[in-house]
Amino acid sequence: MDFRKSIDGLVAIVEGELEGKLYHEIGRFEKSIGICHKCEQHHVLTLSDRNFICIACAKQQNRDLSAKKV
């Protein structure tokens, strides 16, 4: 049906725009890995996250310190 086709077309356009935005977000924020030095849980952090709380053991720590330790 034509109606169904136009809906599919719209969905494809929206999905394309979302992917484009996602690509820009990833490019703008460099990712950094934070590793808990208590339980070694890995965390994906942005460069603006100087401190983080471990999702596994809830220990709050400094990203730079934990990065140096590993």
Task: Write down the least CB distance from residue 19 to Zn ion, Å.
Answer: 33
Which residue in 32, 44, 17, 39 sits closest to 68, CA to CA? Answer: 32
Task: Write down the least CB distance from residue 46 to Zn ion, Å.
Answer: 19
Scanning residues 30 to 69, which ones bind Zn ion (CB under 5 A)? 36, 38-39, 41, 54, 56-57
Task: Write down the least CB distance from residue 58 to Zn ion, Å.
Answer: 7
Q: What whole-number distance in Å separates Cα of residue 5 and Cα of residue 23?
A: 27
Q: Is residue 36 within 8 Å of residue 56, measured between CB atoms?
A: yes
Regarding 21 and contact with Zn ion (CB under 5 A), the answer is no
